[in-house]
Amino acid sequence: MAETKYIFVTGGVVSSLGKGIISSSLGKLLQARGYNITIQKFDPYINIDPGTLNPYEHGECYVTVDGMETDLDLGHYERFTGIQTTKANSMTTGRIYKSVIDKERRGDYLGKTIQVVPHITDEIKRNIKLLGQKFHYDFVITEIGGTIGDIESAPFIEAIRQLKWELGKRAINMHLTYVPFLKAAGELKTKPTQHSVKELQSIGIQPDILVLRTEKHLGDGIRKKVAAFCNVDFDCVVQSEDLPSIYEVPVNMQNQGLDAAVLRKCNEPIEPAPQLGPWKAFLERREKATKTVNIGLVGKYDLQDAYKSIRESLSQAGTYNDHKTVISFINSEKLTEENVAEKLAGLDGIVICPGFGQRGIAGKIIAAHHTRTHDIPTFGICLGMQMMVIEFARNVLGYADANSREMDEKTPHNVIDIMEEQKNITNMGGTMRLGAYECLLRQGSRAFDIYRKEHIQERHRHRYEFNNNFEKEYERNGMKCVGRNPESELVEIVEIPSLKWYIGTQFHPEYQSTVLNPHPLFLDFVKTAIEQHKNK
Ligand code: GLN
């Protein structure tokens, strides 16, 4: 393709319509047709990145290979398409303003008054086009966070209006809306969609494609009505019904011709629809897997989105082990020594989740103790790994006051310590050890067996780290430090080889598990949990 084409994905009526899933699905379908694509997210909030946001506000914080803390939608982009996103795939109002203000201080605009239009909108446009220009993608899909009509998204929408005008057929808008079903009336209602499209039109954007989110199937009559009221071609009105799994969405979109409609709107030739072989094989395997494996997530955020990538990684691993992963959340704040056996009963494997701060860590330590002493497969991730290490120090090495410096600044048994380079850092935003780092695995270890190689790369997000001064004691007593950063010597993986599966990783493997490339650690963990289930 000669020039990059731009697809802008906006949402109306309500939030949480699944713009991220639709963007990922469209990306997947275009990719299957041989196009080189990328997907980026522009979020209208003022934070520079979501790194300082509470998961209750924003769900999980996803980390890219190059160390950007981003929106969880980037996780969907990677899981669906297998592309690796970077810092440039994620933008916020905060970063746009910061860049404009920095330029103003440098004198780049000398003599001028800096305004939302054109300076902020120009900066948004420049950033939207950045990836396409640099890597010559065929398609760049840009998802705009929030809902049409929000005050804060106005400059982004204005930038899209301008780009659509400037780029002509090279830019289209795909708008997602909601079609509610009113039970009392027994009817599906299109008026909110009509209003949302009017709102877009009043800003000067004519949507090219409409995706109608619905809990009930929409007949052709409704699609025709929407098409007529909104000036959109009939074949460009598709529906996104609730499906048993988000991974079915690409196939559903292909069956309705979403990708073909996009190509037609962009003046691209339309070849017959591709087979999606491996993807469909994954779905078939998933459907056939009826036996269940029960995994418990021990964490403090009782919210689906808080551990999104971990949940998806476990679910993918279930499919590849021909099982359905059933995930239960166990609130670590409510775990006590008295109730731990009861709360973890019936679970075949336990994940001790990542996190920050004091709240809920006592429960994580209790869980780690219970699963270690009862040989229940356990996977500790980041803070979860640190809690495994602390539990081992307290109950095996005999240091009752062992702790992380994050929780107790004064303990002499700081088995988890602040990293050297973190000691003088005062700013909280974007200053952790972030992104992909190399790790060297010890031959003969369980981790080495699982990865089947010595050199791996995994993504990180932390300030604290295993204290190497205690390493010998751990090793002597059965907890092995089997993964290590070759430059800094930081311990990245611990395991207890005498147990069925007791592995903690300082990194976050969940960021790298995709539908077609599931992560080996999750695959092996779930496999062991299934064996545990059978042995019960
Ligand atoms: N709070 C811990 C640290 O900063 C763990 C972070 C995490 O779980 N992502 O090291």
Bridge-based pairing state of the strands 187-188 and 5-11: unpaired
Looking at the structure, tell me whether residues 51 and 192 fall in a common domain: yes
Q: What distance in Å separates the CA atoms of residue 359 and residue 369, rounded to the nearest whole number? A: 18
Contact predicate 32/40, CB 8 Å: no
Q: Does the structure show a pLDDT above 80 at 327?
A: yes
Looking at the structure, tell me whether residues 297 and 229 fall in a common domain: no
Mean pLDDT of 512-535: 95
Q: Does the structure show a pLDDT above 90 at 198?
A: yes
DSSP labels, 154-202: HHHHHHHHHHHHHHGGGEEEEEEEE--EETTTTEE--HHHHHHHHHHHH
Mean pLDDT of 414-428: 91
* Cβ burial 192-201 (10 Å sphere, 16+ → b, else e): ebeebbebbe
Encode pLDDT of 261-297 as tens digits: 999 999 999 999 999 999 999 999 999 999 999 999 9
The answer to whether 283 is a known ligand-binding residue is: no
Q: What is the DSSP letter of 404?
A: B
Looking at the structure, tell me whether residues 409 and 275 fall in a common domain: no
Q: Which of 16-20, 222-226, 392-396, 461-465 has the lowest mean pLDDT?
A: 16-20
| CATH code for position 17 | 3.40.50.300
pLDDT for 426? 86
Looking at the structure, tell me whether residues 323 and 180 fall in a common domain: no
Contact predicate 503/447, CB 8 Å: yes
Q: Look at residues 281, 310, 339 and tell me which one is the last residue of a structural domain.
A: 281
Residue among 361, 382, 425, 437 to mutate when testing ligand 1 (max atoms within 8 A of CB): 382
Looking at the structure, tell me whether residues 269 and 295 fall in a common domain: no
CA–CA distances in Å: residue 280 to residues 14, 78, 248, 261, 318: 31, 18, 9, 22, 16
- The reply to whether ligand 1 has any atom less than 6 angstroms from the CB of 51 is no
Looking at the structure, tell me whether residues 268 and 329 fall in a common domain: no
Looking at the structure, tell me whether residues 300 and 167 fall in a common domain: no
> What global pTM score does this model have?
0.96
Looking at the structure, tell me whether residues 159 and 31 fall in a common domain: yes
175 in any annotated domain:
yes
274 in any annotated domain:
yes
Encode pLDDT of 50-100 as tens digits: 888 888 888 899 999 999 999 999 999 999 999 999 999 999 999 999 999
415 in any annotated domain:
yes
Reply yes or no on whether 370 is catalytic: no
Q: What distance in Å separates the CA atoms of residue 441 and residue 454, rounded to the nearest whole number? A: 5
226 in any annotated domain:
yes
Q: Which protein residue's CA is at the shortest distance from atom 6 of ligand 1?
A: 462
In which band, very low, low, confident or very high, does the pLDDT at 1 lie, cut at 50, 70 and 90?
low
Q: Look at residues 252, 281, 310 and tell me which one is the last residue of a structural domain.
A: 281
Q: What distance in Å separates the CA atoms of residue 11 and residue 274, rounded to the nearest whole number? A: 28
pLDDT for 33? 97
Looking at the structure, tell me whether residues 304 and 275 fall in a common domain: no
Q: Does the structure show a pLDDT above 70 at 105?
A: yes
The answer to whether 118 is a known ligand-binding residue is: no
Looking at the structure, tell me whether residues 307 and 351 fall in a common domain: yes
Catalytic residue among 382, 413, 471, 492: 382
Bridge-based pairing state of the strands 349-352 and 292-299: parallel
Mean pLDDT of 356-384: 97
pLDDT for 16? 80
- The reply to whether ligand 1 has any atom less than 6 angstroms from the CB of 463 is yes
| CATH code for position 379 | 3.40.50.880
- The reply to whether ligand 1 has any atom less than 6 angstroms from the CB of 383 is yes
Average pLDDT, the chain: 95
Q: Look at residues 254, 281, 308 and tell me which one is the last residue of a structural domain.
A: 281
Q: Does the structure show a pLDDT above 80 at 536?
A: no
Reply yes or no on whether 382 is catalytic: yes
Encode pLDDT of 481-511 as tens digits: 999 999 999 999 999 999 999 999 999 999 9
Looking at the structure, tell me whether residues 138 and 268 fall in a common domain: yes
The answer to whether 364 is a known ligand-binding residue is: no
Contact predicate 387/375, CB 8 Å: no
Contact predicate 313/349, CB 8 Å: no
Bridge-based pairing state of the strands 378-381 and 349-352: parallel
Reply yes or no on whether 508 is catalytic: yes
Catalytic residue among 439, 510, 519, 533: 510
Q: By residue range, what is the domain housing residue 356?
A: 291-535
Looking at the structure, tell me whether residues 113 and 75 fall in a common domain: yes
286 in any annotated domain:
no
11 in any annotated domain:
yes
Distance (angstroms) between ligand 1 centre and the Cα of 315 equals 24
| Overall domain count for the chain | 2
